[in-house]
Structure formats: C-alpha cells, structure tokens
Amino acid sequence: MEDFDHIATEADALIKPDMLAVLERTNLSVNVQGFLLPVFEALSNSMDGIEQRFDDQASRKGKILVKFENLNDPDKVLISVTDNGVGLNDENYKSFRTPFSGYKLSKRGRGFGRFIAFKVFSRIHYSSRFETSAAEAAKTFRFDISQDEEIIFHDGEPDFSGCGLCVELDEPLADWFELIGGLSKQDVKDQIGSHFLPYFLYRGLPEIHLQFDDEEPENITSYFKAVFVEHAAGQIDTSIDGATCALNYTLTKIPKTRQFKSHCLLFAAADRIVGHPRDLSNKLGATHFVDEDDSKFIIVAVVRGDAFETRLNDSRTSLDLPPKAVEEIVGAVCEKIQDREQQQIEKIKTGQAAELNLALHENPILRLGLGGQTLSEYVQRKPNNWGAEEFVKDLALLRYRNTGDLLKQITEAANNPDSYIENIQELASRIDAGKKEALAEYVLHRKSIIELIDAARRFDDSDRRGSEDDVHSLIFRRFSDSTDVEYFQHNLWLIDDALAFLPYVSSDRTMHGGGRKKGDKVTDLLFYDDTMVLGDEDGTSLTIVEFKKPSRNDYRFGPAKTDPVTQVIETLEKAIAAGGITRTDGQHMSFGNVARRQAYIIADLTSSLVEVLRKHDFSNDYNPKIWTRYRRDGSIFIQAFGYDTLVEMAKKRNQAFTAVLLDE
C-alpha cells in the first residue's frame, strides 16, 4: 500500500516545463530589435523592481544604468542592466525560478522574458542585493538552462552599493555576429526609446542612463521625454473577432529621424511596443509632413487596449490580430491624424490636383470622367497616396460612363438634320469648359479615323487598295465583342452614331462562342469574314453590318457568296433561328424577341452591285448614293452605300462638332 501511495504521489506531481523545447519553438528575428530584446526584458524587470521598492515615487527615485562594452566585437561584447530596485528577495527569487509565474501574469507579463535571452546569449549572470527581515543579503549566480542545475551560485558581492539587481549578458550566439559588427550607438538608443515609447507617452519612467565603454552616461529618459510629447489622444472602437473593442490612441509629433522615417502606427501591450511598425504613408499620402519652418516631422501613433493584452504572445514580440482588424485600426487612426493635420492634408491635395492638371493637359478627354465635379472636388474624394497614374486610370473608367450619356444626347440632336447645328450649339453651351476641351479632342480623334478610312479605300504606292478587313478592324476589332471592347475602342459612329450605343456587338464570332469547326453550317452562313451582328439588350432589335472589299465588281444576283443582299437576309434569319449568341465572357445573349431587323451593306457601288440591288427592288430616290429597301417578308430594312458615302456622312456629322467646338 505504501509503495502504491508513493507511485501515485510521484505520478501526480507536476513536471517542470522543458524550457529548451519551448525556446526552440520560439521565433526571434535576427535584427537589432531581436538582439536587444533580452535587454528590453531586463529593463522591464528593473522597472518592476523599482516600482516594488518606491511605489508612486518610482519615476523620481528609480535609477537604471544600461552599459555596453565592446559593442561591435562579438567575442568581447558585454551588456549589463543595473537598477536600484527591490532586488531578488525571497518572493522575487521564487518567481524567478518559476517559469510562467503567476506574479508576472499579475504584472501583465508572461514570466518568460528571462528565458528569451538564451536565443541571443549563451552566458547570463545575475547579482542582487536585497533586504531581509534581519539585514541586507546578496545573491550572485550564473543562470544556464542547458545545465542540469540551472542556477550556479558564486561567492562575492554585487559591484554596486545598496539594493538592486544587475543582469549581465555576453557570449552571443554565432547567428548574431554579423549584426553585432554593424551596430551603431544610435541604433541602440533609438530602439530603447521606441520600445518603451508608451512609458514616455502615458506612464512615468525611472531615470535611465545609457553608457558605452568609459564614455559619459547619457540620460535617455530626459532625451526621449523631450522627443515623445503627446500631440493628441482619444479612443477608437474597432471589431476584433466579432466583438467591438475600445482602444486608446496617442499621437506624438516628432522630427523625422533615421529610426522614425515615416508616419507609423505602433501597437502597445504590457506597456511596451509589440511587433513591427505599420507604415501610414500610403494612407496619409506622404512619408512626412513639413511645418512652417520647413522642418520635416512625422506622426507616431500608439494604440493600446485590454483586447491586446490577451492576444500577446509569450515572448511579447507580436499580437495575434486578424488582418481585417489591423486594417480597420489603421484606417481609424489615419482619420484622427487627418482631422488633426488638416493643413498638411490640404497641401497633399493641392499637390495632387496640380499633378493631375498636368496629366489632363496631355489627355484632356479624361476630363469627361469628372462628371461635373471640379478638379479639387474630385481629388478630395480620392486616396491621399494617389499619383497621376492612379487618377488617370480612374478617370479613364469614369469617362466611358459619362461620355455615353453625353454622346447619347448628341445622337438625339443629330436626328433632325434641319436644326443639327443649332442643336449641337445648344448642347455645347451646357458643357463646361473641361468637357468642351475633352469633346474637342474627341472630334479630332474622329477626324483622324475618318482620314484612315478614306486612305484605306484608295490606291497605295503599290497600286493596291486596302481590304475590307482593314476597314472592318478600324470600325470594330475583328473576332471580338463589346464585352471586352469599350466605347472609345471602336468607331461604329462611322456607320451611324446610334449604333455606338447598342448594348451588344459581335464581330466575326461564332454563335457558340468557340472556333469554327468543319461542317459548322450555321456559322458558315451566319458569320462571314466581314460581318458584325449588333443587338439590343432586350433582344428586340438586331442589326447586321456587312463589309465588302473596296471597288469589288463581281457581284451576281442570287447566291449568298456573290449577292450581299441574300447574304444579310440569310444571316439575320439564321441568327434569329439560332436563338442567340454566346458572348466572350460566357454569358448568352438571346435573340428570341426580335421585332426590328436592319442591315447595312457597306461596299463601293460598282455596276455589278447596283444591278444586284435593282433586282432586289432597292431604290435610291431620297439620296442617289444610298440604296434602301424594306423587305416585308421578314420585316427587314436594308441600306447599301459605298465607302465614299460612309466617309462623306461621317465628315458632315463631325464638321458640326468642329464648327461649334473648334470654332472653325
């Protein structure tokens, strides 16, 4: 029975954590911050010891000396942190020997900080003097978790007088040698200041001196208190894992330095900065601000809250925060900064407007994207970090939408030839100067396209004419549809301005959307090499545009291959019979409710074509250059005209714009 009790007691006893295994799973970045993390931990413990001894007098009576010897020599470097706190008395020593101690948890620590030193150094030495009920006592020992006996005591007294604690760190691991060789004194100073920034902003700090070798110690508490002055403070609410959390923020305005190069956000937990700074330059639109004296300064924001304390990792190097929460916090803090620094933000906006104005001088048609806003109003609504490239992309998208509305009005005005000029003048009077400038450029664009079409139908230096393919591609890109061809990427207005606003256009594509296959009879009849099909969104109107080679003169009445009238009639019938077409984006456009059918035959009116048109009962009474017929069987209205007429009509429509907008 006694043996069983002994076994049970032994089995029920807690087993000490395997700290080497815990450290193996703890990641520490090989950078200046990682190297100094054991120093930060020692400093934090020193502050706790000073608070225990002096309570509310800690910031006035507390003193800490951080000393670096042989800073850039890995073989000789020695770092010590010495304080005048309560020291390793019985309570603190018990906590020291207990990993993840409850005492440290009560102080918002983890009880793990002293172990992190073994990720950087192989030799760690403690010496302490403290008071007991009888008298002062001392402890001096080496701490080494790789040994069976982790605490190895030494004889001798601490090298300082009075109560306190000294932690010495040396013999760094090989991974840190290269970094140590490049460390600067300013690196060390700045890292200490930034790590304990919360203390400088909203908590008291004891007097901390920093010393290198035998140089005069510098009071960095006074230095950073003068630098980190609270600029503004308040509270923001954010959602973390579905719960609304209140967070406190503090803003400080400091000169731009090598350590603080740009506006940034820092997260604080357990009264220290945790993780890496979040750069706010993109949100604010500048890496720094400039004051009235032309001095560069930055805003450093520190955010803290109870929600962070429970999300702090054991090594106190990072917070477990969802990316969405981080993004929300960054956005809320940037809004507070912008409210506080309205004059600086206005400078950014003025600069953006000036940069955009230059871009619009090069491409004034983009002004259509402003949609009635002034340049300043538009810029105010856009991100502060946008440059000319982002504005141009945005306006390019907006102009397609805005220009559609404008040109629809122009098309309506063009429906009455007798008052065309007057209507355009009235419309132009309602266009602001920016849009008028953009529309003027569009007129020039149309003029250039007309010249290209005109050139395509003439003989070149080799006595060759352009093909119908050349004309087709100028009007609308072949083997594509309006799913991926925007308004300004085609020139359907050359045929008729109204065609430019049909919701769907398919150019040289099969009904099923795939490539042509042998025996694909519907496709052979439906889509010839130079055919476009245009349809309304509701499927009530269907239009065919058939191009023929300039000056072609071998047409014959009857067969679709030689008779373009038969060709467009059969194409319309087959399109309706097919019921619709598959767009390039995979969606299906239905032709099931077609009520209106029309066709354009664009081909030079050679003698053979005129003969074919006459046999199909076409007439040209209204305009000798335009042959028309309404075919009651199938309710199809067909127009046929030559490339010279196409160019002539396009020029006339464009001349009205030119007269009004370009004052010609």
Residues 130 and 168 both lie in one domain: yes
Task: In whole angstroms, give the CA distance from residue 26 to residue 433.
Answer: 64
Residues 268 and 119 both lie in one domain: no
Residues 56 and 162 both lie in one domain: yes
User: The CATH number of the domain where 213 resides is what?
Assistant: 3.30.565.10
Q: Is residue 13 domain-resident?
A: no
Q: Domain range for residue 251?
A: 230-339
Query: Which helix H or strand E contains 158, and what residues bound it?
Result: none
Last residue of a domain, one of 307, 322, 339: 339
Residues of the chain under the 70 pLDDT cut: 1-23, 25, 99-113, 201-203, 314-317, 362-365, 368, 399-445, 456-471, 482-490, 497-504, 508-540, 591-595, 656-664
Q: Is residue 46 domain-resident?
A: yes
Residues 240 and 222 both lie in one domain: no
Number of domains in the chain: 4
Last residue of a domain, one of 173, 203, 227: 227
- Give the pLDDT score at 106: 45
Q: Is residue 664 domain-resident?
A: no
Residues 302 and 259 both lie in one domain: yes
Residues 329 and 392 both lie in one domain: no
**Contact present, 81 and 42 (Cβ < 8 Å):** yes
SS3 readout for 595-618: CEEEEEEECCCCHHHHHHHHHCCC
Closest CA to 444 of 234, 207, 620, 664: 664
Task: In whole angstroms, give the CA distance from residue 329 to residue 332.
Answer: 5
Residues 221 and 235 both lie in one domain: no
Residues 357 and 319 both lie in one domain: no
Q: Is residue 451 domain-resident?
A: no
- Give the pLDDT score at 103: 46
Last residue of a domain, one of 227, 262, 297: 227
Q: Is residue 460 domain-resident?
A: no
Task: In whole angstroms, give the CA distance from residue 605 to residue 151.
Answer: 106
Task: In whole angstroms, give the CA distance from residue 289 to residue 298.
Answer: 6
Task: In whole angstroms, give the CA distance from residue 136 to residue 130.
Answer: 6
- Give the pLDDT score at 618: 95
Q: Is residue 291 domain-resident?
A: yes
**Contact present, 130 and 86 (Cβ < 8 Å):** yes
Q: Is residue 427 domain-resident?
A: no
Count CA atoms within 13 Å of residue 79 on its CB side: 28
Residues 400 and 489 both lie in one domain: no
- Give the pLDDT score at 527: 30
Query: Which helix H or strand E contains 100, and what residues bound it?
Result: none
Residues 626 and 536 both lie in one domain: yes
Tokens coding 200: 């400088």
Q: Is residue 432 domain-resident?
A: no
Q: Where are the beta strands (DSSP E) in 70-225?
A: 78-83, 121-131, 136-143, 151-153, 164-172, 207-212, 218-219
**pTM (two decimals):** 0.51
* C-alpha distances out from residue 333 to 260, 308, 311, 564, 600, Å: 18, 16, 20, 68, 61
Residues 499 and 565 both lie in one domain: yes
Closest CA to 116 of 28, 11, 213: 28
Q: What is the pLDDT of residues 619-631, one digit of tens each?
A: 998 889 999 999 8
Residues 243 and 217 both lie in one domain: no
Q: What is the pLDDT of residues 37-63, one digit of tens each?
A: 899 989 988 998 999 999 889 889 999
